[in-house]
Amino acid sequence: MTNLKSSILLFLILFSKSLVGQVTLSPSNATSESRITITFDATGTPLATETNIYAHAGVVTKNTPTPTGSDWGNVKGNWGKDDGIGKMTAIVGEPGKWKLELSPTLRQYFEVPSGTPIFWLALVFRNANGSKQTSPDIYVKLALDNFVAIVSPDPSSNQIFVEQGKNITITTEASPVANSIQLFVDTGAGFQSVGSVNNASQLQVNYVPVNSGSIKIKSVATFNTTSAEAIANYSVIFRSATITQNLPLGIKDGINYFSNDPTKAVFVLLAPGKDFVYLLGDFNNWKLDDNFLMKRTPDGERFWLEITGLQSQKEYIFQYWVEGTIKIGDPLSDKVSDPFNDASIPSSTYPNLPVNIRNENGIASVLQTGQTSFSWSANETSYVPPPKDELLIYELLLRDFIGSRRYKDLTDSLNYFKRLGINTIELMPIMEFEGNLSWGYNPSYFLAPDKMYGTKNDLKTFIDKAHQKGIAVVLDIALNHAFGQNSMVKMYWDKATNKPAVNNPWFNPDATHPFNVGYDFNHESPYTKAFVDTVTAYWLKEYHVDGFRFDLSKGFTQTKSGGDVGVWSTYDASRIDILNRINTEILKVNPKALVILEHFADESEEANLASKGMILWRNLNFDFREAMKGNTSQSFGNALAKTHVTYMESHDEERVPFEMKTNGASSTTYDIKDEGTYLDRMKMAAAFLYTLPGSKMLWQFQELGYDKSINSCSDGSINENCRLDNKPLVWGTGSLNYYTNAQRQTLFETYSAINSLVKTNKAVFKNGNTSWKSSGATRTINIQHTSMDVTIVGNFSISTATVQPGFSKSGTWFDYFSGEALTITDPTATFPLTPGEFHIYTTVKQPTPKAGLVTEIKNEPSGSFAIYPNPTSQKVYVSIGDKFYGYVQLSFKDMLGREIEKKSILYQGQAVELDVTKFEKGFYLINIRKDNGQNEITKLLIQD
């Protein structure tokens, strides 16, 4: 996830703050007991032009300084329905302003029980069908009523686990300071007082329950003439004391299987400082049982338990109940069961998924003994990925690449990649992420492939088959952050602040840098170091991946930047140490592993990391977008570094063809917005990137000129809120049908031809002496090598321009795409290029690619067509061939694209004489079109 992706999130945060300013309450000091009028100013929002606006509203009854979507309660509104619930009224005389009255009081409108405090009003405004909305959620702070609340035991858990004879701490808080606070407990015989305090805002009592079972706790606070009370219901569960015992020899964190005994497994959970953990699952009918109270290691770091009687190959769903109430899956499980999303996974993608009906418990892990090992191909042990400075990476989001979203069909597509000529596939994150449809940068279980794409063996088969075709597989991995579904986040969570607790072994309570999303890993923590090493080693060993692309690697820092992006981007020695350590551990597992960083930091920092063998991303998207749409002042920047993987498109940037289609420049004879034109220009862009030394990358369907915006919505509109939405497919029923589009297939073949040229002349393009002119209307690349020289020319403007190719020597050169020889007598000579025209010239003739990939505008005529003398001063003869008889259209254009003369002639097998004395001196383009549709363009020089 790059700076751009994070900047979108930052924009949304700022947008939310600005929206808060566009929402007013009357009265301004409204409480839950007030009749409230909400006023919304839709000016500048996606709803500015709507004729109907709805308020989708709720309340937050938790005392939190930063509410989130999970805090919403008592919601009013049916999303997408024009049913009147929450419908606002336009304010007469105040364009763009709308109002809604919550009556008779806010509490009654939302049906919040008396005694429950309301801290925030939560709002989202939408149009009638829900296709447009404000984003993110808007929260308006309410003035507080007199209230009292039970803080602990946690009222939301409803369960109290305690050793018999030990006390529980009951805490209640009031606001403002109460005249008195009283606590009562009812164990079945009515409420009995257990403590009181005067002139205080908090009361804490240690209470020893006599029996297990149901219990009610009530708190009553008095405030002068009023009072408030809160009641919470619990179930008291007596538990045994935790047994302290060392781990058995050879047992590690996570699920431990035994090949010689598939009836047992040992579970180990790293949970430093926790008091107790229960293991519950299908194997014990999900019953709290002290026989499944896990043992604790003497150092207090881990809990473990061996269970027996398991059925080989049967899948069991299970969870750890940390201190009885924190219900999590194993952080190191390789498969999870999601009661909310698994049902949406087609059986054709993942057959026979175990059914988890315990929605209230959330996501669980899956246990299966006696699994059959995957059979890798015989040559797998000898496979070696491409050298790090020869990578040609195809970045791929499986969700939007194939309609089925299956590894199986991706495996069937490997010939497509082979034909294109790439040697590495980079899969955007596939670790178990939140929901089913995602870019994958919201990971929750880092060792579990998300089931939406298929089974573990489907993924292994894809990697195995890719290796057989000489294609490496790199995983995009998001180890900068995790989200609330993650077990390690949930285990150590501060409900009061709504963020990771200060004692969380893995996560910072607050992110150290300004572009963070989710919860920020502390990469200097020994727990995080061990976790990262476990994750990377697992994927290298278990799935044979060839390396990783680390998302937002610049976030791997504990140096606090105070929200200053500039400070965050400066040289950070501690961050270098963190990444060097990770790289070192990866190379211990696989010395050939590829480590790619999405970094974008200080150049000296990137150079330091590169010196340790890591590869840095280099983003030239803006440079190429500007140049390709006709801005000739925009340079291509630094694309020559062999230490970087350079790209013109990635998942985070706008598509170059979309930019040309939308904002391309034009003249009377050349329009970049034309589809054929911008697809042709993408060929030129490829020639000016993929022939340069160092690793390169292309983003999926770049080779087909994908021209839908990164912000495309499902309804065809374009909105930044749709950035992460599913994008139109290029093939299959109901798709964009790029696969049957001749122009787009020609673009594919051109990419393939350029890649083939580079691959078959690896020494030239990798080690040759490369120089280039990377700005201006005409641009050049010149490569000199002992085995072959290369010259590439291109016109990036919208009018004809003269280029000095800078040929390294005189003699015969060959046009790669036409195969024709070009005699160079003066290496310093210049010649004109029409808009978008480009050529790749080599001193050694190469196998000629498929004809017709590039529009041929020749300096010399070819085939049966001839024009002579050339240059000329008075007359020119046009010959079309002895065997052709018919009408021919001739069009003369000057180098600005202006048509000077057009005529039709009847050709009868003999050369036709034309008088050119009326033309001014200079270069001209002659377009000759036969009546059978054949067409050819050549250049003519008229001189004295």
The whole-number pLDDT of residue 20 equals 55
The whole-number pLDDT of residue 21 equals 60
Cα torsion angle, 584, 590, 592, 596, sign: negative
CA distance 566 to 602: 10
Half-sphere exposure of 187 (CA within 13 A, CB side): 11
CA distance 692 to 768: 10
> What's the token pair of residue 291?
């026989």
Rounded mean pLDDT for each run of 10 residues along the chain, 944 residues in total: 39 39 84 89 88 93 80 88 92 92 91 82 91 87 80 86 95 90 95 96 95 94 88 94 97 97 98 98 96 98 98 98 96 96 95 90 96 96 95 98 96 97 98 93 96 98 98 98 95 88 96 92 98 98 98 96 91 98 98 97 96 97 97 92 96 97 93 95 98 97 98 91 93 91 96 98 97 96 98 96 94 94 88 92 96 69 67 82 70 75 77 83 80 73 79
- 3-state DSSP assignment of residue 588: helix
Q: Are 395 and 697 in contact (CB under 8 A)?
A: yes
DSSP bridge partners of 200 = 178
CA distance 282 to 714: 41
Which element (helix H / strand E) includes 370? none
CB atoms within 10 A of CB 93: 6
The whole-number pLDDT of residue 873 equals 81
Distance, CA of 309 to chain centre: 43
DSSP string, 236-273: EEEEPPPPB-PPPTT--SEEE--TT-TT-EEEEEE-TT
The whole-number pLDDT of residue 71 equals 84
DSSP bridge partners of 493 = 500
Question: CA 531, 407, 452 angle in degrees (round to 5)?
Answer: 65
CA distance 56 to 137: 10
DSSP string, 860-874: S--TT-EEESSSBSS
DSSP bridge partners of 645 = 617, 695
* Core vs surface per residue 708-722: b (16+ CB within 10 A) or e: bbbbbbeeeeebebb
CA distance 903 to 882: 21
The whole-number pLDDT of residue 496 equals 73
CB atoms within 10 A of CB 879: 17
Is-above-0.95 flag for pTM?
no
- 3-state DSSP assignment of residue 686: helix
The whole-number pLDDT of residue 860 equals 44
CA distance 18 to 44: 10
- 3-state DSSP assignment of residue 18: helix
Q: Are 831 and 923 in contact (CB under 8 A)?
A: yes
* Backbone phi, psi, residue 154, to 5°: -55, 115
- Which residue type, as a one-letter code, is found at position 118? I
DSSP bridge partners of 237 = 161
- 3-state DSSP assignment of residue 941: strand
Distance, CA of 563 to chain centre: 23
The whole-number pLDDT of residue 401 equals 97
196: exposed, middle or buried (C-beta count within 10 Å: 0-12, 13-18, 19+)?
Answer: middle
Return the residue matching tokens 């029409």.
834
Q: Are 204 and 196 in contact (CB under 8 A)?
A: no
608: exposed, middle or buried (C-beta count within 10 Å: 0-12, 13-18, 19+)?
Answer: middle
Tell me, what DSSP letter sits at residue 292?
A: G
Nearest 10 degrees: Cα torsion 231, 232, 236, 241: -110
DSSP bridge partners of 778 = 795
